[in-house]
Structure 1
């Protein structure tokens, strides 16, 4: 077995280059940009009215005029009008172009309009008051979004603003999730007393989806020949294969043997950690193509921990997304004796600016329900057995609370 640190180094040194593709804007949320996005014109593209009110010429104000004849109305989305007489005004709406010959907008709250005459009740005005000046946000050809950024709704809004109906992004890896085991039945089935419903595939697919990755799920029973045939097809078709189960030392744990027969190069099998000790990792390279295989232990807590500690950071690295490194402080003393890295299930709480990790003790790696009570795993290092309240350790969160 190898240490957690060695395992992470090996995993991260075997990332893939997904390539890139062009997709339509309505499918781009969560994807990673592969081109710089430039302003196609100034932001804003014209002197923009910021308040509903009247537009006047400041020279008339300085000359003492407080009563203005209303020439017309300038609405948003209409061509720019011109104030023909500086002693007059034009009613303007928020978002409209500032009329020519006008340089001040006075809001309706400070104006009394009777018929076609506007009386102003403010004591002072300033040049370009309530006007968003052309080009003050960004200039044409400025870089608005740099490539390698994950697209959020804010970036989508900018892409739409500059007319990018299609955008170049990192190609999505083809991901397969494979569960194994005769004891597993589908979610729609009623399990026999000796069976359970499959949950790991749904959990992994959901974890991928919420992070912007699509995947396809499979289940294969513990029949060596069938497992070999189906795994060959999957490994040849997909860029990333995440297996759940069949990697320990049981009589029907065939996955490592079959992967070896499929020319998948084992990079390690077994990590000094709890949970998830039987974790297996390898790659299959065939000319110009490559498939990465994460074979995770089948117990649900082990699957969860290994996915969030190894697989998701690996995917982020492939896509050029920075992996956040967060630490949390233990809320109370904790002891763990075996010489392993221990991933302690914890509930997270922000208290006066400090992120606290509150231990949530379950009943082992098969205790799926305990994941509901916790938010994350706190990574406690090997080589010691006593961990004091207030000490900070890396935290791997699976719930979006931080």
Structure 2
């Protein structure tokens, strides 16, 4: 009963970040003056339950909350499980260092995962933008695409029996929609594995390296003899990125009514214009523009002129800036808008600068200036503000 209670309250958040907080029923344990607990202080049932959840028996990894006061039989004790020290593994550490050197902040990996989602959605031809719109076989193929695209991006060598060779060591790459769901084949037992998860809905991803030792695997297996990491095994993952930001899926995070309005707006340019109207102040990914425009050459639908959305939107006091140009990123920053990355756009409400304005301004290549505006304060501006500048990509 105690193990069930502790598992119910702690297991759902087991090692999501750096610590795990929860509550456990006290069976008469005694606490030391510093508020810490050691294994000798715990009733056997409590210690066993906490060990099942990956807690160390060392007092440095199991603490009571000092404010709770001395625990007494039948009381509830606040417990913090701190992450266990990773087992020594020079090969794992070498792989982690190599991966960190290639992508220190994880932004490249995040973009690879974003592009892989969009590759599978194939919105230009299908108008799909959600995971639940995919066929079962396509979902199964996603992990393979992730492995291929990561290898292309980082130029990992081929392994002899596993997917990659990184820093001279064989590494198997495994993707799962949810943390802990990685299916490890027999040939990966005892080997290093790169474990990856990504949530398009939550706009997060994680990537880590773990050695799939026999003692860290669950006993059960599927018909292909693949197994998963146990709770103790998951606690030994060396995370390079944990719940890091994934470039957002613009259409997925829009209200369904807005998406329908965009897709029903008419021809390609009209749809793109409607997209920017409804996403002002938010970054819009290239894939969203391509899906709405139903063509890969999205710049044609964004740029000025008769075939682009910038001119009609300028007449409404809406500016559209792309991350492919330094000056447009600077303009976004000057206007207080999110700064788009190379494959992103951002629209914002603006107005021409009038005499007496002493707030922030964005100077265009033509010498014209715009100021930020509220939705009900925006005003038309001359599309010549964009100029013809194409340098500083």
Q: Shorter-chain TM-score category?
A: under 0.3
TM-score, normalising length: structure 2: 0.21
Which is richer in helix?
Answer: 2
Tell which has more relative contact order, 1 or 2 (C-alpha 8 A, sep 6+). Answer: 1
Bigger radius of gyration among the two? 1
Structure richer in strand, relative to its length: 1
In the superposition, the TM-score normalised over structure 1's length comes to 0.20
